[in-house]
């Protein structure tokens, strides 16, 4: 079964999601929701899906950057994005801390802003304290693209979309991105040198 992904304009995407208790995490309803979210994320396809994106205002997200998603990306681009495969995992009630002052600008899209993308500046290093699907405390230290995914999904839990953080000059439809900008540097796209 695939869940419906809500689109920008749905009020649930702008709410602060509520925390889950350990009892709720272990309940049949949440334990059944997690694989449904995983399957929905994979079918989309996406690298993350937060509960508000499927209409549930709770602090839960699933993340996975499958190896098959990056097979057609050049080694140079993978290195530039600092991107590698990330195994499936669940984050619940996360607290994100930016580590250091380094950041990077890259295009982001969102399953709830279908058909568009824009350049977003994100921290390169983060630490996330959260619970996993077994209600166990977990600390995640992430760098590069993984840090970007975590920031994007945790934003969803606070009612924030990437369009709130984007460089508005770079808000393109996916078709126009491929047609006009795909092979350009970030500096060419933004119209200035970094």
Q: What secondary structure does DSSP assign to 71-136, as a single string?
A: TTS-HHHHHHHT---EEEEEEEEEEEEE-SS-EEEEEEE-TTSTTEEEEEEEESEEEEEEE-TTS-
> What are the chain's domains?
11-190 (3.90.45.10)
* pLDDT (mean) for 139-167: 98
pLDDT at 79 over 50: yes
pTM of the predicted model as reported, rounded to 2 decimal places: 0.94
* Predicted pLDDT at 193: 47
Q: Tell me what pLDDT residue 119 has.
A: 96
Q: Quick one: pLDDT at residue 191?
A: 77
Characterize the bridge pairing of strands 125-131 and 86-98: antiparallel
Determine contact, residues 112/44, Cβ cutoff 8 Å. Answer: no
Helix (H) or strand (E) holding 152: helix 145-157
Give pairs for 180-186: CB < 8 Å, separation 24+.
186/105, 186/106, 186/119
CA distance 12 to 3: 15
Element (H, E) at 60: strand 60-65
Mean pLDDT of 148-158: 98
Q: Is the peptide bond before 181 cis (omega within 30 degrees of 0)?
A: no
Do the beta carbons of residue 92 and residue 133 sit within 8 Å?
A: yes
Whether 167 shows a pLDDT value over 80: the answer reads yes
Q: Quote the pLDDT of residue 19.
A: 98
Per-residue pLDDT tens over the stretch 14-29: 999 999 999 999 999 9
User: What's the CA angle centered on 86, arms 179 and 88, to 5 degrees?
Assistant: 110
From 2-11, 69-78, 91-100, the region with the lowest mean pLDDT: 69-78
Q: What is the mean pLDDT of residues 31-40?
A: 98
* Percent of the chain residues topping a pLDDT of 70: 98
Say if strands 103-109 and 172-173 run parallel, antiparallel, or are unpaired. Answer: unpaired
Average pLDDT of the residues of the chain: 94
Q: How confident is the model at residue 82 (pLDDT cuts 50, 70, 90)?
A: confident
pLDDT of res. 80: 84
pLDDT value at position 194?
A: 44
Residues catalogued as catalytic: 153
pLDDT band at 98 (very low <50, low <70, confident <90, very high): very high
Tell me the C-alpha distance between 91 and 135, whole Å.
10
Q: Kindly tell me if the per-residue pLDDT of 36 is higher than 70.
A: yes
């Amino acid at each position: 079964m695939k869940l419906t992904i809500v689109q920008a304009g749905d009020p649930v995407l702008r709410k602060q999601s509520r925390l889950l208790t350990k009892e709720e995490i272990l309940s049949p309803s949440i334990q059944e929701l997690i694989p449904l979210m995983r399957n929905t994320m994979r079918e989309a396809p996406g690298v993350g899906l937060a509960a508000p994106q499927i209409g549930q205002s709770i602090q839960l997200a699933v993340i996975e950057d499958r190896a098959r998603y990056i097979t057609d990306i050049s080694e140079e681009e993978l290195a530039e994005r600092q991107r590698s495969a990330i195994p499936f995992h669940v984050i619940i009630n996360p607290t994100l801390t930016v580590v250091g002052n380094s950041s990077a600008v890259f295009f982001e899209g969102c399953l709830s802003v279908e058909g568009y993308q824009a350049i977003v500046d994100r921290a390169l290093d983060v630490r996330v304290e959260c619970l996993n699907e077994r209600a166990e405390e977990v600390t995640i230290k992430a760098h590069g693209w993984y840090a970007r995914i975590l920031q994007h999904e945790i934003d969803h839990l606070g009612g924030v979309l990437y369009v709130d953080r984007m460089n508005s000059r770079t808000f393109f439809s996916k078709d126009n991105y491929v047609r006009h900008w795909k092979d350009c540097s970030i500096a060419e796209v933004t119209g200035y040198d970094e």
